[in-house]
Chains A and B, each alone.
Chain A
Amino acid sequence: MESTAEAKYAAFEEKVERTIFVDNLSPQVTEPVLKKALDQFGTVVSVSFIPNYLETLSIPSCALVEMENSEKAKKVISSITQFPFMMAGMPRPVRARLAEAEMFDDRPVKPGRKIHCHWLDPSDPDFEVAKKLKLVTRKHATEASFLLKQQLDREEKLHKQQAETLKANFKKYEMIVGVLGDKTAQNLAGHYGMRVSDDS
């Protein structure tokens, strides 16, 4: 019994090592998309998305991708980190890092660990401290969700800003294409005695 639990946990740890955690994924990224995208670096064994039950905000989705071995996993991470990697959209790159055991849903119980629990008596000197700890826990959770909101706000801001830039850029190019298309550019060039270089 003991040994099988340990063997199971060891197998799990190996799995953790060959798995990468990918986030900043668009909701449009589905399992086949992800699989296809990462197949170019090595064989993808399995993909599982980590659901977001907690945040009411829509945060980018993330997933665990199991590669065939840990070397391949590291290779994927280095490739993706080196060059911004686009998946199902531009220009926000996805991000990859090594997976951690806590990211897995079906992780086995770590063998040999003992958990103790007891109800504290109100007269216990620790009771007040525990109360404070509970408050702090709640506070921290609120802080974290606040930071997450901030982060999303900033992302939105960047998104809008880039959308503006892109729109401006697009408008510019559209105009250029337009002027070139309706001979306005050539007329103007002739008017000012300039040589339009593209056709020889």
Chain B
Amino acid sequence: MVQANEIESIGFKWGKKRGIGGKKKDVQFYESFTYDDVEYALYDSVYIYADGETEPYIGKLIKIWENSDKTKKVKILWFFRPCEISNFLEADKAVENELFLASGEGVGLANVNPLEPIAGKCNVVCISKDSRNPQPSYEEIEMADFIFYRTFDVGHRVITDKIDDKIAGIDVRFLLNSVSIQKPSAVPKPDSNDKEIIGNAVVAGVVDKNVSGKPLKLDDSSTDASTKENSVSRENKAAIMTSVKQKSGLGKKPDSYTNSRSDNEEIAHLKTALVKQKSSLGEKHASKSGVELAEMAKITKWESMSNDKITSRSKDNVSSESKASSIPAIEIHAEKKGKATKDSVRSSDRPSKLANFDDSVKASVNGRNTLQKLNLDSGGSDAKALDRTTTASDDKSKRKLTKNPSWTENISLKKTKLDEKLTKHAIGQLLEASPREASNSVSKTTDQKVEVTRRPEADKSKWFKMPPWEERMQNAHAEGRLVLLQNLDPSYTSAEVEDIVWHAFKENCTAKMIQRTAFSSPHSGQAFVIFKTSEAAEIAVEKLDESCLMLSNGRPLVGSIATLSFPGKPSTFFGHIYIDKLRLQMQREMKEAVSTSHCSQPNTIEYDMAMDWCLLQERTDLEWKHLYKQQGQELRKLKANLKSK
């Protein structure tokens, strides 16, 4: 993702002109433009950087123009993330990378924005089965940053999988998958080079066709100068895919050298290899001549470099993560080189691409937590791959052995050098990195005191008015999603309760503090919390019950599935007495005059009775006061036993 401060210094160029419009014919419309070396065209999906938002907005460019005062504008039709419209999703589950296209009419459909906050292209693929939608291929869906098939009507606030003919005045065919989107992702004709990789993959026995297809696509897009800036994030995704699959493949290779080696070590080893390979790539890029064997020697040398380097490397969590993802790609490359010495020109071309690709991974790593997650997941598959021994990979490594004996030698040498502690250390850091990234600031370790801050998704849906609380609460109650929290500080606000729930359970919810009345306890504040699902509600209640969530001032939170007294007018009210015979007449009077309210005069029976009520009131007030005083003392006594405050 492009940082905001970089934007200023980045090159900008208009593309194809479209037409002139505006009142004075001074507005120039365009079909495309180049910004930050990325070419954007009409109907492209883009990330929009927004101040104070952790995640960028996503939208489609539906109009591009320059005003007479040289301000560049784009009109953007928005996509909604599931979390932005979660209140309307209710029971529907959204896929992790699902988006919803805005439709209908109303606030939130489309906006005119300045062009500058555009932060990059976004690969959004429509998987709607709609006949107007050119169906995407499997690879395209795999590669997409986001997918969509449903729309969100901003006017009626409903989610539907039907897509209108026109959205924001734009023919829907432009908004679904376009032919131009499909083109670059079409599988390229395999040339000799490509075949080689596929061949390699087959030998490795793990990399399936899809995956091997992906690096090809990458190459394709980066060789072509005009489509070089084929979205950064797309390259990412491909990188992730390859990294996941390839890693498991790599797990096999060392297998042929040694059985005892853990895949943890493997990762650490890959890292060292990577650190050095990176610089080697730079060299390669510069020289543009492929002397494979020499290179191999270089790699092996680096691999056996001192352990210190590994630790220093692993300290740098984020960057090491991003690099980890690029390892496999480089490994492929290395393998290929080992075999294909003849194809020197082409293979030397490749490093430059890989270098590019590596950069892009690094650039985007901040915004993409999934990357780290996927990398971690691959650890599991490593282990599996390690268990298996295939003759194919054996063969391959043997071949390698003959070709480049020094390499294998060095690896085994290094293997022995790596001591347990070091690898553990590296892995620990590696594992740590991703949760830290994913949860933004909070990790759920038990004894860590966490300050409750605004949760990241808060206030996302400010565009839309919620249905009234009572309606939501009753629905939630009927579905078992309503939880009553007790022992909150009575002065907490509903928003603060929502934040507490977010930090404690990683669940988004809507909460409402119960307003204090004359009988409310001054010690324990209560709140209703609506969870998204009844499962989440049950889990939260159970967790609160079994363990203790301590809030400030030594308040352990108490939760229970709420039983609701349906609000509405209570039927009975004691203290207003009517004489039946006169009641009819009374009611008529009530209708005619709203105000029958008055102060009682001391010479009436009414006054006497009112005094009785006042007496009773005083008495109960005293009782309440006494009760709460007693409860306060009880609590204070208990809290004195708390070790930590």
A: which residues have CB within 8 A of B?
21, 23-24, 26-28, 32-33, 36-37, 50-62, 79-80, 82-93, 95, 97, 100-105, 107-110, 114-122, 124-127, 129-134, 136-138, 140-141, 143-144, 147-148, 150-152, 154-156, 158-159, 162-163, 165-167, 169-170
Contact = CB atoms under 8 A, between A and B. Distances in A.
B599 A85 contact: yes
Interface string B582-604: 00000000100011111110000
Contacts of A52: 517, 565, 567, 570
Which of A88, A108, A141 lies at the interface centre, i.e. has the most chain B CB atoms within 10 A of its CB?
A141
Nearest to A48: B515
A117 B526 contact: no
A91 B519 contact: no
A85 B486 contact: no
Given A85-B597, A85-B599, A91-B600, A115 B487 contact: no
Given A88-B596, A102-B516, A134-B558, A144 B627 contact: yes
A164 to B, nearest CB: 10
Interface residues of B, number: 98
Given A27-B573, A37-B597, A114-B451, A91 B499 contact: no
Contacts of B579: 166-167, 170
12 contacts: A56-B563, A58-B571, A59-B570, A62-B518, A86-B600, A92-B575, A102-B515, A103-B515, A110-B491, A110-B493, A115-B492, A143-B631
Nearest to B524: A137
Nearest to A55: B565
A9 to B, nearest CB: 11
A136 B633 CA distance: 11
A119 B446 contact: yes
B552 interface: yes
A88 B600 contact: no
B486 A53 contact: no
Contacts of B617: 24, 95
Nearest to B474: A53
Given A54-B565, A134-B558, A154-B620, 11 more contacts: A36-B595, A90-B576, A91-B600, A92-B609, A102-B516, A102-B520, A103-B517, A105-B513, A115-B500, A127-B548, A138-B558
B576 A92 contact: yes
A23 B570 CA distance: 14
Given A90-B576, A117-B450, A126-B643, A53 B524 contact: no
A93 to B, nearest CB: 5
Interface string B522-565: 01111010000000000000000001111110111110000111
A4 to B, nearest CB: 14
Which 3 pairs, one residue from A and one from B, show the smallest C-beta to C-beta distance?
A92-B575, A58-B570, A89-B576
B521 interface: yes
A92 B572 CA distance: 14
Interface in B602-626: 605-614, 616-617, 620, 623-624
B639 A138 contact: no
Which of B493, B549, B574, B611 lies at the interface centre, i.e. has the most chain A CB atoms within 10 A of its CB?
B574
Nearest to A107: B493
B569 interface: yes
A126 to B, nearest CB: 5
A110 B503 CA distance: 19
A118 B550 CA distance: 5
B597 A137 contact: no
Given A50-B517, A117-B549, A126-B642, A90 B493 contact: no
B577 A162 contact: yes
B504 A117 contact: yes
Nearest to A132: B638
Contact of B638 (A92, A101, A136, A143): A136
Contacts of A105: 494, 512-513, 515
Given A62-B517, A158-B575, A151 B623 contact: yes
B114 interface: no
Nearest to A148: B519
Given A52-B567, A53-B565, A117-B450, A140 B577 contact: no
B260 interface: no
A54 B595 CA distance: 30
B634 interface: yes
A125 B643 CA distance: 7
Contacts, number: 294
Contact of A140 (B521, B571, B598): B521
Interface of B: 444, 446-452, 470, 473, 484, 486-487, 490-496, 499-500, 503-504, 512-521, 523-526, 528, 547-552, 554-558, 563-565, 567, 569-579, 590, 594-600, 605-614, 616-617, 620, 623-624, 627, 631, 634-635, 638-639, 641-644
A19 to B, nearest CB: 12
A158 B576 CA distance: 11
A88 B596 CA distance: 6
B319 to A, nearest CB: 31
A85 B554 contact: no
Contact of B550 (A60, A126, A132): A126
A136 to B, nearest CB: 6
Nearest to B613: A92
Which of B500, B521, B596, B644 lies at the interface centre, i.e. has the most chain A CB atoms within 10 A of its CB?
B596
A122 B520 CA distance: 31
B447 A124 contact: yes
A120 B606 contact: no
B442 to A, nearest CB: 10
B548 A21 contact: no
A141 to B, nearest CB: 6
Contact of B609 (A90, A118, A122, A167): A90
Contacts of A87: 596-597
B277 to A, nearest CB: 43
Nearest to A26: B573
Contacts of B547: 119-120, 122
B624 to A, nearest CB: 7
Contacts of A28: 573, 590
A53 B471 CA distance: 12
A85 B635 CA distance: 38
A137 B544 CA distance: 13
B565 A56 contact: yes
Given A102-B516, A109-B496, A134-B548, A88 B576 contact: yes
A190 to B, nearest CB: 31
A45 B597 CA distance: 19
B388 to A, nearest CB: 40
Contact of A133 (B447, B492, B638): B638
Contacts of A88: 576, 590, 596-597
Nearest to A79: B599
B436 to A, nearest CB: 17
A56 B490 CA distance: 21
A143 B635 CA distance: 14
Nearest to B489: A115
A110 B642 CA distance: 27
B482 to A, nearest CB: 10
B597 A86 contact: yes
Contacts of B496: 109, 115
A47 to B, nearest CB: 13
A119 B567 CA distance: 34
Contacts of B473: 53
Contact of A130 (B556, B606, B627): B556
Contact of B548 (A23, A120, A148): A120
